[in-house]
Amino acid sequence: MRVSSRAGSVAESGTLRLSGEAARLRGEGVDVVSLLEGEPDLPVPEAVTRAVEDAVRAGRMKYSASSGLKELKAALSLKLKNENGVTAPPESILVANGAKQAVYAALQALCDPGDEVLIPSPCWVTFPESVKLAGAVPVLVPTGADHQLDLDALERAVTAKTKAIILNSPNNPTGAVYPEPALRAVVALAERRGLTIISDEAYEALVYDGAHVSIAALGAAAEARTVTIQTFSKSFGMTGFRVGYLAGPAEFVKAVGRIHGHVTGNACTFAQWGALAALGLGDAHRSSWREAHRARRDVAFALGAKLFGCVKPRGGLFLFADARRHLGARFPDSAALAAHFLEAGKVAVVPGSAFGREGFLRLSFSAPEATLREAFARLEKAL
């Protein structure tokens, strides 16, 4: 059967492919340590699972409004105002099947064929492919040596076809957190050139040094041209629930909603009741969650810096390790090195080429300390 040119042009997710390979090896009895997933391994809060159970027992399992439960959207409006400084009434919010679908839907509503979308690189593997699925052209703009935005490079990359810029802070895969002055410069650029800003803030609750800044909170101009995307996956470990959301100008969110209504209908209703319960957990949960992952970040950085060049991640769940000192005749590129680590060390990592930056490896630290120490000991031995 022949597939469409659209389907043929989209690359398989490198992270999902490697996760499948690691799972296959484990199924065969191989002792593989995975540093692949951006998935908190801490348990989903009990209040969340209890709310889901209560919803199921009460029969709250039918369709919800396509844009999300009104109770959840009201709570999200308060959350965005109180925690992020973003003004978003319920009608300016849409609940989606995770942040990934929110990114896809936003680009579908925004882009026409031939439009260009700027993406600071290295970047999450799904961004370029979602742009392609919208008929647009991803334009990767390298970041600086410390993985911070290169504002001059972004300015030079803008053309008459540029429609938007995607920001991801805290960043996957680098852990970079973009400071307010850089974000204000992006807003100024967007104003000058008429660009929309898509701000993927999936890791907003996992900032270890400094504070997270939502770009839509930086004044009326920023709010008018920014689509803010967040999720329950990283902040509450609710990865399998598939509940994310976007907020933006009301007319744009309505346009996204028209597409969303045909693509999926609504996010899982009883999972949304779990998300509502998660929002009620308050500061104590956020603080303990962040500190648990900060401790793992510190362990991974200390161990990783002995083997690779590393910029200490200020947020997120990943160490983006510069492995170029280990490349050469034996390992010509990061994919070959990652394959060696899986074969010889039984440790699964993602090559930086999957994120647009050759010579690097992405190492997740969303695992217990003992697992991290075992993984890095195996990596060292394999080298």
| 184-232 confidence digits (pLDDT tens) | 999 999 999 999 999 999 999 999 998 899 999 999 999 999 999 999 9
Q: In 10 A of CB 92, how many CB atoms?
A: 23
Mean pLDDT (whole number) for 24-41? 80
Mean pLDDT (whole number) for 307-335? 94
> Rounded CA gap, 286 and 169, in Å?
17
Residues 271 and 292 in one domain: no
Q: What is the pLDDT of residue 15?
A: 64
In a domain, 52, yes or no: no
29 pLDDT band, cuts 50/70/90, is confident
In a domain, 15, yes or no: yes
Peptide bond preceding 351 in cis form (omega within 30 of 0): no
Residues 210 and 277 in one domain: yes
242 pLDDT band, cuts 50/70/90, is very high
Residues 218 and 72 in one domain: yes
Kindly report, residue by residue over 329-373, the tens digit of the pLDDT.
889 999 999 999 998 899 999 999 999 999 999 999 999 999 999
Q: Are 64 and 44 in contact (CB under 8 A)?
A: no
Paired tokens of 162 = 């540029």
pTM of the model: 0.92
Q: What is the chain's mean pLDDT, rounded?
A: 93
13 pLDDT band, cuts 50/70/90, is low
Q: Which of 3-17, 66-80, 326-340 has the lowest mean pLDDT?
A: 3-17
Residues 215 and 108 in one domain: yes
| pLDDT above 70 for 174 | yes
256-295: buried (b, 16+ CB within 10 Å) or exposed (e) per residue? bbeebeeeeebbbbbbbbbbbbbbebeeebbeebbeebbe
In a domain, 105, yes or no: yes
Instruction: From 219, 253, 281, give the residue that closes a domain.
Output: 281
CA atoms within 13 A on the CB side of 105: 34
Mean pLDDT (whole number) for 162-170? 98
More confident residue, 131 or 15: 131
| pLDDT above 80 for 42 | yes
> Rounded CA gap, 317 and 315, in Å?
7
Q: Are 292 and 298 in contact (CB under 8 A)?
A: no
Q: Which domain holds residue 179?
A: 63-281
Instruction: From 234, 260, 281, give the residue that closes a domain.
Output: 281
Q: Judging by beta carbons within 10 Å of its beta carbon (0-12, 13-18, 19+), is residue 325 exposed, middle or buried?
A: exposed
Q: What is the pLDDT of residue 179?
A: 96
Paired tokens of 79 = 């959350």
We report the CATH number of the domain holding residue 14 as: 3.90.1150.10
Q: What is the pLDDT of residue 19?
A: 67
Which bin fits 334, alpha (ψ -120 to 50), beta or left (φ > 0)? alpha
Kindly report, residue by residue over 71-111, the tens digit of the pLDDT.
999 999 999 999 999 999 999 999 999 999 999 999 999 99
Alpha-helix runs per DSSP H in the chain: 5-9, 14-27, 46-57, 70-79, 98-110, 126-133, 151-157, 180-193, 220-224, 233-236, 250-263, 269-279, 282-304, 334-340, 369-382
Instruction: From 281, 303, 336, give the residue that closes a domain.
Output: 281
Mean pLDDT (whole number) for 149-171? 97
How many domains are there within the chain? 2
Mean pLDDT (whole number) for 122-148? 95
More confident residue, 261 or 215: 215
> Rounded CA gap, 275 and 72, in Å?
7
In a domain, 178, yes or no: yes
Residues 365 and 217 in one domain: no
> Rounded CA gap, 216 and 214, in Å?
5
Q: Are 73 and 67 in contact (CB under 8 A)?
A: yes
Residues 274 and 180 in one domain: yes
> Taking Cα atoms as reference points, which of 310, 312, 270, 315 lies closest to residue 290?
315
12 pLDDT band, cuts 50/70/90, is low
In a domain, 51, yes or no: no
| pLDDT above 80 for 161 | yes
In a domain, 154, yes or no: yes
Paired tokens of 302 = 């200390």
Query: DSSP readout, 87-151?
Result: ---GGGEEEESHHHHHHHHHHHHH--TT-EEEEEES--THHHHHHHHTT-EEEEEE--TTS---H
| pLDDT above 90 for 9 | no
Residues 217 and 297 in one domain: no
| pLDDT above 70 for 326 | yes
Mean pLDDT (whole number) for 125-154? 95
Q: What is the pLDDT of residue 25?
A: 67
5 pLDDT band, cuts 50/70/90, is confident
Residues 196 and 336 in one domain: no
Residues 35 and 81 in one domain: no
Residues 236 and 121 in one domain: yes
Residues whose CB falls within 8 Å of the CB of residue 174, separated by 6 or more in sequence, listed in order: 122, 143, 147, 311, 313, 316, 318, 320
Q: What is the pLDDT of residue 195?
A: 98
User: Which residue has 């690779």 as its token pair?
Assistant: 308
Q: Which of 23-37, 283-297, 366-380 has the lowest mean pLDDT?
A: 23-37
In a domain, 181, yes or no: yes
Cα-to-chain-centroid distance, residue 255: 23
Query: DSSP readout, 213-239?
Result: --GGGS-HHHHHTEEEEEESHHHHS-G
In a domain, 54, yes or no: no
Residues whose CB falls within 8 Å of the CB of residue 187, separated by 6 or more in sequence, listed in order: 197, 215, 218, 219, 221, 222, 225
Mean pLDDT (whole number) for 303-317? 96
> Taking Cα atoms as reference points, which of 301, 308, 299, 310 lies closest to residue 369?
299
120 pLDDT band, cuts 50/70/90, is very high
| pLDDT above 90 for 10 | no
Paired tokens of 304 = 């990783």
Q: Which of 140-144, 154-158, 352-356 has the lowest mean pLDDT?
A: 352-356
Is 363 strand, coil or helix?
Answer: strand
Residues 213 and 240 in one domain: yes
We report the CATH number of the domain holding residue 137 as: 3.40.640.10
Residues 72 and 201 in one domain: yes
